[in-house]
Amino acid sequence: MKDGKLPRAAVVEDFSCFGKCSLAIALPVISAAGVEACALPSELLSAHTGYAAPARFDLSSAMRPIYEHWSSIGAGFDIIYIGYLAGKRQIEEACGFIRAFKKPGVRVLLDPAMAEGGRLYGGLEAGHEKEMLKLCALSDIVLPNLSEAALLTGLEYSESPGEGQLRALLEGLLKTGPKAALITGVSGGGGKLGAALLEGRGAAPRFIGEQALEGAVHGSGDLFASVCAAALALGLSLEGSARAAARFTALCIAATLKTGRDEREGLRFEPLLRDLRELIDQNR
């Protein structure tokens, strides 16, 4: 960060106009952390697919012209964060972007957002996970939930896997390409909920978690990944980034549950943004 320059993140995913998720979380959160965020949007939706029949506008044909123009003006990134993508073409365009922009020292964080409760999200084609494996092969860090980890590894889905199953999922994820895997939505015992981390095959898995809350809110995985992306760009370790992400996500879920609003509207993170950078710095 020489000359007051901020680190810069490229964020590749959809923009859903209602119901906080994807770019509607990533842009404000990464910016509030003090990292410049540039969007490569893959799709425009009236609302996320948790709502019935959203209006959808595929932007895959815009993705290459956008990033080729970025190349021509010398744009570069410190981190590339890939989130929800709706199909084969969008995934292929994201792969093309990574190949063009992954210079030495640039890390690729992949949140293979595609499933919940052991099933693919509505609107995704069967076999979507096979396409997602192309992105795994190009990523440095993969950040799935338990459903996505099972789909990517071909292992059985369990909501509360035992230690051996969890280890198999983590090792299986590393075989798909990345150097590190972080599975979210994992129970850590003692009423804790968080993420299981494996950095390198054969290493010991670690658990990072917070006291579990009663209730789930749409987009929590997107918030976790956005904080991780920002913290990594600011130079934190993956474990420190995951700690900051787990803490901030838990605070936002608690604040949202208090409002009693429809969980599909997503996280009410805005009032907490002013404290995000300090929280990240505490995990250095």
Residues that bind ligand PXL (CB under 6 A): 14, 16, 21-22, 45, 48-50, 84, 113, 121, 219, 222
* Smaller CB separation from ligand PXL, 49 or 184: 49
The sign of the torsion formed by the CA atoms of 33, 179, 84, 144 equals: negative
* Smaller CB separation from ligand PXL, 48 or 243: 48
* Smaller CB separation from ligand PXL, 37 or 45: 45
* Smaller CB separation from ligand PXL, 223 or 244: 223
CB of residue 267 vs ligand PXL: minimum separation in angstroms?
10
- Report the 10 Å Cβ neighbour count for 140: 18
Judge whether 39 and 23 are in contact, CB under 8 Å: yes
Q: Is 168 exposed, middle or buried (0-12, 13-18, 19+ CB in 10 A)?
A: middle
Nearest partner of 81 among 60, 105, 98, 104, judged by Cα: 98
Amino acid at 256: T
CB of residue 237 vs ligand PXL: minimum separation in angstroms?
26
Amino acid at 230: A
CB of residue 86 vs ligand PXL: minimum separation in angstroms?
7
CB of residue 202 vs ligand PXL: minimum separation in angstroms?
32
Nearest partner of 224 among 195, 192, 191, judged by Cα: 195
CB of residue 85 vs ligand PXL: minimum separation in angstroms?
9
* Smaller CB separation from ligand PXL, 14 or 210: 14
